[in-house]
Structures are given as structure tokens and as C-alpha cells.
A and B are shown apart, each in its own frame.
With several copies, the nearest count.
Chain A
Amino acid sequence: MIDVKKIRDDFPILKRKINGNQLIYFDNAATSQTPQVVIDKISNYYSNYNSNIHRGVHMLSQEATESYEKSRRIIQNQFNAKSSNEIIFTSGTTHGINIVASGYSNFLKKGDEIILSEMEHHSNIVPWQMLCEKTGAIIRIAKMDENGVLILDYFKSICSNKTKLVLVSHVSNALGTINPIESIISIAHSNNAVVLIDGAQAAPHIKIDLQKLDVDFYVVSGHKLMGPTGIGVLYGKESLLDMLPPYQGGGEMIEEVTFSKTTYAKLPHKFEAGTPNISGGIALGTAISYLNEIGFDSISKYEKSLLDYSTFKLLEIDGLKIYGESNQKTAVISFNIESIHPYDLGTILDKLGIAVRTGHHCAQPIMDHFNIPGTIRASFSFYNTKEEIDIMVEAIKRAKLMLA
């Protein structure tokens, strides 16, 4: 089980005071906080072996390259990818999705269909809209019900041999819903469709086995995984990555360049043009090792207890409605209070030191579904506590009085 007191000591930011109050950080779905080991890894990189990688014969370059490539293998092992060639460092989930979406413009044609769920983050919508604009392919929406649960039968009914791509989040950032991606993948594959799963919100909370899932593409962001900003991972099956054209041109991703002909490098370098985020890649490995030391079983169990507790406590507040009531959720609660605008509540909570997110959470179609301008979202991590939840509940009551 989680020793939360000890764990909190790993995160220097949790000591922050906001407006005289102890910071309560419930915005983990936007960005997770960073343990000291990760911060130290970054400092250590710049203090001891900062150097451009892959092409240097000197020691610093070799050390940096080794650390960077070791990190790739840590990630490979963490997600159980078959080969480290399948692990592409990106600048984040958005970048990863764009690599794939842009690559498929060569392989889709007019009338082809792609399926998006209704609960996607804008990053898993807009690149596909751009793809469809280029190719004439058509977007079909996999609907969800009033609990924010994907309607699997409906999905089955729109998935056909016209379907070329299926794009679904593993976990919805705005609702916390865990989608049945095993079923989605198997339905899609039985129609020969390729599946990209947006794992930005899943990877920090759930142990992921890519080979077992048999997923085609999977994307995550480092800054939600206790890692630094500006780094992420695109996983793709080697055969698919081999097939896709390179996304960016530049150094690193080429084998030979003449003005008449350029040959591209092998995986994973083909997709890693230019000097990468070296410190970010290295520190992401450290972050994932840190998560693994705590253990995903413990994390899931503890976060579930926070979710249950906060759901129970929040529902005691009069007029509070929770959006997303699947029985398969990560520790995310999106809610509104009758006749109070989320922005107002968020502002008062901030004054009380509580960081929640308000708004559409980059998932406007979800807001349209529920016909609301936005929600207040409290998203928990394993360093949060029930005491913090109690303080938030009291703060909400106070804000309610002020705003009523």
C-alpha cells in the first residue's frame, strides 16, 4: 500500500503555499507534479553530461546517448513493446498523434471512414479532421451515453470494412471514463481497421501491456507521467511505423543526403528529426522508474479509494452533479453546482489554495453532449490525500455560500 506521507516528501512543490494556504493540487490530469529524482536527473544531465547525441565520439556524447537510449528501453519494458524501435520519442501526445495522422494521408482515400469517440480530447480530433480534409475520408462518431460511457453496440454498428482507422482515448480526460479498448481493438481489427489509442490519461494510472492489447499505435505525454514537459512517446507496431512516411525532415532521420537523393534512417530515428529533447527523454525514463517503484497496483488501488471517497463526499453537496459516472473510472471527477459557473467556483477555490481545472478541458464535444459550458474537474494522483479532499469539500461549500 501507499505510504503517502513519505511519497509527498518526494514532491517539493507540495510544500508550496498559495495565498497563505497549503497548496492542494487537484489538477493532475492537466499536468502531474515532478518528484525530486526527476528534477535531479535533469540538473545532473546539464551539470555533467549535456551533449548532442548519436553522432559524437567524445565521452559526453556517449554518456548522453547511452542515457537517452537506456530511457527508451525503460519505456519499452514499461509498456511491453516488442522492440525499442517501436518507441518513438515525441514532444507529447499531440505530436505523436500528428505523426500518425499526417502519415496516413498517403493511405486514405475519399469515402474511407475513420471513427472517433465522442469523448476525445481536441488533440485526438483536430489532426484527424485535417487528415480528412486532405483525403476526403469521413469522420464517424462513436457515441457515449448519459453516464459518459461509450456505447459499444453503437460502435460495433458503425465499424465496417470502410473503417480504416479507429481513434479512441484509453481514458477520457474530462470524465475519467476508462474505455473498453480491448473490445474496441478487437472489433476494429476484425474489420481490418488500424487502432490508435490516446493513452495520455491512462498511462499515469494503469499498467499497460502493448503486446497483450495488440494495439497498433499508442501515445502518451511525459508531463502527465511525473516527467518533464516537452517529451512524450509514440508507440507503433514496427511494420506500421516502417510503412509510414517520415514526418519531419532533418538531421538524425537520414542516412545519406545529397541534393539529388536522400535516404531515410531506420526506426526509431526516422521519426526523430533534429536534436531531440535529450534531458526530457532521459528524465522520462527516471519518472517511469519512479512510478514503477511505487507500483501500478498500489497506485490504482489507492487512487480508486480517493475517487470513491471524493465521489461520496461531493454528492453530499446540494445541487452538485457529477459528469461521467462509469463504474470504470480513473480518479477524475468532473462536476458542476447548480446555477454556479465553473469559472467562479474555480476562482474561489484557487484563492483557498486548491488547484482544480475549469472549462471544457479541451473536449468541447463532451460539453456539447451534456449541453454545459464546462465543468470543474478535480483529478487526483497518488500523492493526494483524503484530508485534502475534505478541505476541498469544505471550500466548495464556502464558495457556494459566497456565490449563491
Chain B
Amino acid sequence: MKSIATIQKEIIDEFSLFDDWMQRYEYMIDLGKSLPIIDQKHKTDSNIIKGCQSKVWVYAELKKNQVIYTADSDAIITKGIIALLLRVYSKQHPSDILKADTSFIDKIGLKEHLSPTRANGLLSMVKQLKMYAIAYQTQLN
């Protein structure tokens, strides 16, 4: 399995090919469309992340010491961001997830999604991903 740092580096490299925001967003929208669908039974109210303008559902399981995330959103750009996050965080060891930072979001020109406006739930999403990691980390100890 690739390390989180490696994946982040790959994403930064991919995005560096784009000339402008249009291309970046079109790519994100494509990513959003290709996000594997979350199992319908996990799309429950208790799995909704509060504080996002679009609805976001996140679910996680521990398999072979790796956290496997699945997620969905009703907004396509949000789905694109989720796809990026899952590419970085999913299938990693909880302790690695907890150490990871989000600076790659800034580096790929999506800084606006890191802003503390509650409208943009990216920070809430990352927080939720890490909550799962904490929970599973405890389980592993």
C-alpha cells in the first residue's frame, strides 16, 4: 500500500498539470461522479456530517488494520473532494491517518474549501474521518 505522503504527492503532481480553476473543477466533478457508491444502509442520519451545506455521509470499517472509508454527498463538487480525501485516507492504518495533514488541499489550489465557513464542510469531513481513525486506533491498542 502506498503511504499517505506518496498519495498526496501524486495528487499534487496531477493537479499541477491544470492551467486554471476550470480544469481543476472539471476534474473534481469527474472524480465526484466516479466516487464508488456507499452502501445504502450506511446512508443514515447518524452518519451525516453536520456543518456542511451539502449532505455528506461517511462510514468506516476496519479491515486488516486498515480503515476503509465509504462516503457520499448530494453535491457533486463535494463528492469530488470526498473522492480525493478517501484516496488519501482510506485503506491506511489508523495511526497514519491521525498523523496526516491537509496541506495538500492548499497545494492543489482548493484552499477555499479549507476556510472555516461552515458552508464548506471539508474540515468537518476530515475531522469525521479522524474520529473514525481514533475509534479504530483505540480498538487496536
So, do A and B actually touch in the complex, CB under 8 Å? Answer: yes
Give A contacts to B, CB under 8 Å: 19, 53-57, 59, 61-62, 65-66, 69, 255, 341-344, 347-348, 350-351, 358-359, 373-374, 402-403
> Is the CB–CB distance between A56 and B117 below 8 Å?
yes
The answer to whether the Cβ of B102 comes within 8 Å of any Cβ in the partner chain is no
> Is the CB–CB distance between B54 and A402 below 8 Å?
no
> Is the CB–CB distance between B119 and A344 below 8 Å?
no
A59 to B76 Cα, complex, angstroms: 19
A232 to B115 Cα, complex, angstroms: 24
Closest to A348 in B: B25
> Is the CB–CB distance between A343 and B53 below 8 Å?
yes
> A343: which B residues are within 8 A, CB to CB?
53-54, 75, 77-78, 119
> What are 21 A-B residue pairs whose CB atoms fall within 8 Å in the complex?
A53-B117, A54-B119, A57-B53, A57-B119, A57-B120, A62-B115, A62-B117, A65-B116, A65-B117, A66-B116, A341-B54, A341-B78, A343-B53, A343-B119, A344-B75, A347-B25, A347-B77, A351-B21, A373-B55, A373-B74, A403-B76
A296 CB, min distance to chain B CBs, angstroms: 28
> B50: which A residues are within 8 A, CB to CB?
255
Closest to B32 in A: A344
A374 to B55 Cα, complex, angstroms: 11
Give B contacts to A, CB under 8 Å: 21-22, 25-26, 29, 50, 53-55, 74-78, 112, 115-120
B93 CB, min distance to chain A CBs, angstroms: 28
Q: Could you list 19 further interchain pairs (A-B, Cβ under 8 angstroms) beyond the known A55-B53, A351-B25?
A: A56-B119, A57-B53, A57-B119, A66-B115, A255-B50, A342-B53, A343-B53, A343-B54, A343-B77, A344-B54, A344-B77, A344-B78, A347-B77, A348-B25, A350-B112, A351-B21, A373-B54, A402-B25, A403-B29
